[in-house]
Chain A
Amino acid sequence: QSALTQPPSASGSLGQSVTISCTGTSSDVGTYNHVSWYQQHPGKAPKVMIYEVSERPSGVPDRFSGSKSGNTASLIVSGLQAEDEADYYCSAYAGNGFWVFGGGTKVTVL
């Protein structure tokens, strides 16, 4: 069982938006802003899309955004594109050099 809770699936139509939640505890998501989101296509390594809750690495489209409230972080993908269909994982710092991941959410573009 993963330390962070994500919905197993989410979907949206082309051009629409989808929001994925990532629920932790007061020891990880609730305490630290070190929350990241990763995109993983089949057979590929994860790629960071959001770090520090809402920061985008260079090259990531601004359709991807992140937020946090209490023990729950969220990834919002706006203007869904076909290439956004993938698995998405959140990670959070849990203190003492320990990082935890979510179980992943499969995003389907309808």
Chain B
Amino acid sequence: QLHLQESGPGLLKPSETLSLTCSVSGDSITHTDSYWTWIRQPPGQGLEYFGYIFHDGSASYNPSLRSRVTISVDTSKNQFSLRLRSVTAADTAVYYCARHFGSYHTFDSWGQGTLVTVSS
């Protein structure tokens, strides 16, 4: 069974760079029908899609976040990562990594989520 686990700092200061890693187990990150994504949820609010990366390194980003976001993949470690530059308090949220399964066009596996707080 596919398992995803986020890791990274839980507290950042404004203007710093958020870096999170998602470790994938139970399947290879090179699975041909899997797109690896980041999604966040501010406290008490809805879900926001960051973008995805494919195992070959091709990526697509949410246009509203594209200027600050980089998603990368490390197939040797079965991991993928998120970098969000110049954070503000508005970036405080639970960050989820998830698999988008291409055949079903849905986010079928999610990590447990990690809370990132931006505060001076």
Interface flags, A2-43, vs B, CB<8A=1, else 0:
100000000000000000000000000000001010100000
Given contacts A45-B111, A45-B113, contact A101 B46 (CB under 8 A): yes
Report which of A48, A52, A89 forms a contact with B46, defined as CB distance below 8 A. A89
Given contacts A48-B107, A51-B106, contact A97 B113 (CB under 8 A): no
Q: Which of B47, B48, B108, B111 has the most CB of A within 10 A?
A: B47
Interchain CA distance A97-B49 in the complex, whole Å: 11
Across-interface contacts of A55 in B (CB, < 8 A): 104
User: Which residues of chain A in 60-110 are interfacial with respect to chain B, using CB atoms and an 8 Å cutoff?
Assistant: 89, 91, 93, 96-104
Across-interface contacts of A51 in B (CB, < 8 A): 104-106, 108
Interface of chain B, helix or strand or loop or mixed? strand
Report which of B39, B46, B108, B113 forms a contact with A102, defined as CB distance below 8 A. B46
B119 at the interface (CB under 8 A from A): no
Across-interface contacts of B49 in A (CB, < 8 A): 91, 98-101
B63 at the interface (CB under 8 A from A): yes
B52 at the interface (CB under 8 A from A): yes
User: Which residues of chain B in 29-82 are interfacial with respect to chain A, using CB atoms and an 8 Å cutoff?
Assistant: 39, 45-49, 51-52, 60, 62-63
Interchain CA distance A83-B113 in the complex, whole Å: 21
Do residues A97 and B107 form an inter-chain contact, with CB atoms below 8 A?
A: no
Residue on B with the closest CB to A99?
B49
Do residues B105 and A47 form an inter-chain contact, with CB atoms below 8 A?
A: no
Q: Which residues of B contact A (CB under 8 A)?
A: 39, 45-49, 51-52, 60, 62-63, 96, 100, 104-108, 110-113
Q: Which residues of A contact B (CB under 8 A)?
A: 2, 34, 36, 38, 44-48, 51-52, 55, 57, 89, 91, 93, 96-104
